Structure 1
Amino acid sequence: MKQKTIKIGTRDSELALWQAHTVEKQLNDLGYTTEIIAVKSQGDIILDKPLYELGITGIFTKTLDVAMISGQVDIAVHSMKDVPTALPQGIVQAAVLERANVNDILVHKGDLSFFETESTIATGSLRRQAQWLHKYPQHQTVDLRGNVNTRLQKLHESTWGGAIFAAAGLERLNLKPNTFIDLDWMIPAPAQGAMMVVAMAEDTFALDALSQLNHIETEICTYIERQFLRTLEGGCTAPIGALATYNEKTDEIDFNGALFSIDGQQKLEIKRSFAISEWKKLGFHCAKEILENGGAELMKEIKEKLKK
C-alpha cells in the first residue's frame, strides 16, 4: 500500500460526486488510499442569478481552491469546462481524464411542434443561448440553473419547448431520457466532457499519483481549446465554443472555434487542421485570427452588455 491517504475534494452535487468517485476508484486501483470530502460551492448555493451576473470566473471551483490551499483536501476534481483558464497561485493541473461525449443535447417532452412556433428554450449558458438563437432566431431563451436533477424537474414542470444539457453529465448519471436531440451542430464549451484533477504544486506525492491517470490526447485537445478561450478573454461568461480533435488518419489536430454575440446574430468562426507538432500555439493563433477579424470589437460589446 502507498503511504498517506489522498483527500479528494469535490462539490456535493450528484454529478460532482460521481466524478470524484471515478477518480477515487482509479487511484484505489493503483494502490492508493483515498477519502472523499464534499464541499458546497457558491455556484451551487446562489441559484437565482445567471452565472454571468455573479461576475466571478470559477464560481464552482473557488471553494475547493480555498479548501486545498488551507490543507483541508489534497486534490480536487472538476468538470474541466468550469475551471478558469488561470489557476490560483500554488495550484496546478495534475491530470486530465479521458474525455467523454463532448456534445450538447436538447431534452424535450416528446412534442417537437415547438420548432415551428415562438417557443422558449432553457439554458444557463450564454454559449448555448447564442448558438440556439443563431439557428432559431424566432425562439426565446430563459435561464436555467441548478444541478442536473433540478434542471430536468424544472423542464418537466414548465411550458418550455426543451432545455439544453451537456450529454456527458446526463450519461454519467444514467439520466439521459429517450426524448432528446443530439445538437452536433452546436460547438461545445472548451474542455466539455473532460474532467480535470488539480493538486498543490509542491505536493509531489499527489502529483505522482495523478500523473498515472492523465490521458495525453485529451490533455492536448483541452489545452488548445482553453488557450483559445483564454486568448479571447472569455473567462466563463462570453459565448465561446471550441473543439479540438485528434485525427489519427492524418496525424493532425482538427480545430473548430467560434465567438458569438449574446443575441446569436453575429458568429465569428474558424475551422483549421494543423500538424500535431503545432499544438502548443494552435489555440492562441486561432483566437488571434478571430480577434483580428472583428472579434476584438465583439468581445468589447459583450463585456459592455454583461456589465449592465
Structure 2
Amino acid sequence: MSKPIRIGTRDSELALWQANTVKDKLELLGYKTELVAVKSTGDLNLDQPLYELGITGIFTKTLDIAMLNRTVDIAVHSMKDVPTLLPKGIVQSAVLERAASEDVLVTNGDFNPEDICTVATGSLRRKAQWLSRYPHHKVVGLRGNVNTRLQKLVDSDWQGAVFAKAGLERIDKLPENHRLLDWMIPAPAQGAMVVVARQDDLRHIDATQQLDHKPSAICTEIEREFLQVLEGGCTAPIGALAIIEGELIRFKAVLLSLDGRTALSMEKEIETNNYKGCGAVFAREMLANGGAELMNTIKKSQ
C-alpha cells in the first residue's frame, strides 16, 4: 500500500483552505493524502510590516525546510508569497487555476475611496499605488492572517484596508462593504496557488503535475520572471499582471517609489506562443527606461 502524500501548509484558515483544495483534487485522482500544518516566521511576527523584516520567502521558508528534511512531501502556497528563485532541491510542480487577481478596498463603514483619510495595508506595492493615486491620505501598517486583519479594521478608526480579493473569497469573508480596485496592479502571481516538491521526488512531482493549469502557469511565469529581473521580491513596490485573451497575452506592470510619487508603468501585447522569456524582456526595458535608477534609490533607502 502506497504511503499518503504529506501536504505541508501554514495553519491559517486561508492556507488550510488552499491545502485542502489540493488534498481534495489529489484524492479525486486516487491518491491518499494527509495535511501537516506548521507555523512560519511570517505568522509569528505580526509587529512589523513584511517589507521591514527584510526576508524573502518568509511564509515559505519553514515549509521548505520541512520538505528538504522529508517531514512533508509537497507544500501548497499562495504563489505571490513564494520567492522567484526557489531553494536548491525544490521545484514548482503545479499552478492551480488562478482565482481573482484584483485587490479590494474593505471599508469600515460606507466610504468612497476619495473620502478616506486613513487606509491600512502591510504591502509596499499597495501602499505606493494608493499614495500615487491619493497622495494626501495616510497609510498605516496592517499584519496578520485574513481574519485578524479584518478584525483589526473593525476595531480601528481607519476608514478602510486593502486585501486580495481571492483570499477573502476563498474563505467566504468578502464583506458587502468592499470596492474593487481595478486601477491597482496586483502582485505578480496574486490569486494563484502553487504546489512545490523536492526535485528528486518524481512520484510526487508526477502526482501533482496533474493539477497544473497551463494558462495560469504561463501568466504567472511571465509575471514572476518580470519581478525576478527587477529584483523586487518583497522589498519594492512592483505590480505585474498577464492575461491571455485568445491568441494574445496582454501584460501590464508598474514600478513605484516608496512614497508613490514616481511611477513607471508599461503595457505590452505579445502572441501567446511567444511567451517564453518575455517577462525578462519587459523588465529589462523598464530598467532601461528609468527603472534601474528607481530600484537603486529604493535599495539605498532600505
TM-score relative to the length of structure 2: 0.98
Q: Secondary structure at the match of 2:276?
A: helix
Q: Secondary structure at the match of 2:277?
A: helix
Pairs within 5 Å for 1:93-242: 93-112=92-111, 115-116=114-115, 119-242=117-240
Partner of 1:85 in structure 2?
84
Task: Tell me the distance in 2 between the aligned counterparts of 1:231 and 1:57.
Answer: 15
Task: Tell me the distance in 2 between the aligned counterparts of 1:123 and 1:6.
Answer: 36
Name the aligned partner's letter for residue 108 of structure 1: T
Q: Residue deviations 1:149-200, cap 9 Å, x none?
A: 1000000011111000000000000000000000011000000000000000
Name the aligned partner's letter for residue 193 of structure 2: M
Q: Secondary structure at the match of 1:23?
A: helix
Q: Residue deviations 1:85-132, cap 9 Å, x none?
A: 000000000000000000000000233167246x11100000000000
Task: Tell me the distance in 1 between the aligned counterparts of 2:103 and 2:111.
Answer: 17
TM-score relative to the length of structure 1: 0.96
Task: Tell me the distance in 2 between the aligned counterparts of 1:60 and 1:174.
Answer: 22
Unaligned runs of 5+ in 2: none
Partner of 2:13 in structure 1?
14
Q: Secondary structure at the match of 1:268?
A: strand
Residue 52 of structure 1 and its aligned partner are, at CA, apart by 1.1
Name the aligned partner's letter for residue 205 of structure 2: L
Task: Tell me the distance in 2 between the aligned counterparts of 1:8 and 1:82.
Answer: 17
**Identity percentage over the alignment?**
61
Aligned length, in residue pairs: 302
**2:104 and 2:180 in contact (8 A); partners too:** yes
Q: Secondary structure at the match of 1:112?
A: coil
Partner of 2:74 in structure 1?
75
Partner of 1:303 in structure 2?
299
Task: Tell me the distance in 1 between the aligned counterparts of 2:213 and 2:124.
Answer: 29
1:285 aligns with 2:281: yes
Q: Residue deviations 1:215-252, cap 9 Å, x none?
A: 0000000000000000000012210000000011xx01
Task: Tell me the distance in 2 between the aligned counterparts of 1:116 and 1:152.
Answer: 20
Q: Residue deviations 1:11-38, cap 9 Å, x none?
A: 0110000000000000000000001000
Name the aligned partner's letter for residue 104 of structure 2: I
Q: Residue deviations 1:267-295, cap 9 Å, x none?
A: 10110100112211111111111100110
**2:109 and 2:159 in contact (8 A); partners too:** no
Task: Tell me the distance in 2 between the aligned counterparts of 1:254 and 1:175.
Answer: 30
Unaligned runs of 5+ in 1: none
Residue 53 of structure 1 and its aligned partner are, at CA, apart by 1.2
In 2 relative to 1, CA 113–226 (structure 1 residues): closer, same or farther, beyond 3 Å? closer
Pairs within 5 Å for 1:27-38: 27-38=26-37
Task: Tell me the distance in 2 between the aligned counterparts of 1:82 and 1:36.
Answer: 20
Aligned mate of 2:269, from 269, 273, 283: 273
Partner of 2:4 in structure 1?
5
Task: Tell me the distance in 2 between the aligned counterparts of 1:238 and 1:94.
Answer: 27
Task: Tell me the distance in 2 between the aligned counterparts of 1:214 and 1:113.
Answer: 39
Name the aligned partner's letter for residue 177 of structure 1: P
